[in-house]
């Protein structure tokens, strides 16, 4: 049974094989699997940083991953509301709008 391509492979294909390899092997193969933080905690940190630095392209997939890793919609709303006060209103509002879209898509 063939495995599904990673997200990095889907995005970059053969254009940047080293970046795909680093993303798959180092970032998600090592950093995300290290002891010390749970996947849930890593997701919370990642979502907060991506929202704070206004990275909507990466935030979308990490919001979905955060929900898969056990964060609830209510927890993400609270975290992103908190981010708005430290990183700026547009960052928090933009991230909340993205979360709303993801949640609505999942319900449909």
Q: For residue range 12-67, what is the model confidence (pLDDT) as tens digits?
A: 988 999 999 999 999 999 999 999 999 999 999 999 999 999 999 999 999 999 99
Has residue 79 got a pLDDT over 90?
A: yes
**Residue limits of CATH 1.20.1290.10 in the chain:** 37-107
Non-local CB neighbours of 11 within 8 Å, separated by 6+ positions: none
The pTM assigned to this predicted structure is 0.87
pLDDT tens readout for residues 10-19: 889 889 999 9
- Cα(92)–Cα(35) distance, integer angstroms: 29
Category of 70 on φ-ψ map: left (φ > 0), alpha (ψ -120 to 50) or beta:
left
Residue 43's nearest CA partner among 31, 25, 26 is: 31
37-107 maps to CATH 3.50.50.60: no
């Amino acid at each position: 049974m063939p495995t599904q391509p990673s997200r990095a492979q889907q995005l970059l294909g053969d254009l940047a094989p080293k970046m795909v390899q680093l993303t798959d092997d180092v970032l998600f193969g090592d950093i995300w699997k290290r002891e010390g933080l749970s996947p849930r905690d890593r997701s919370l940190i990642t979502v907060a940083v991506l929202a704070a630095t206004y990275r909507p392209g990466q935030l979308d997939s990490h919001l979905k991953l955060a929900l898969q890793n056990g964060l609830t919609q209510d927890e993400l709303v609270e975290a992103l509301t908190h981010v708005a006060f430290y990183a700026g209103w547009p960052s928090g509002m933009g991230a909340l709008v993205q979360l709303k879209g993801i949640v609505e898509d999942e319900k449909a």
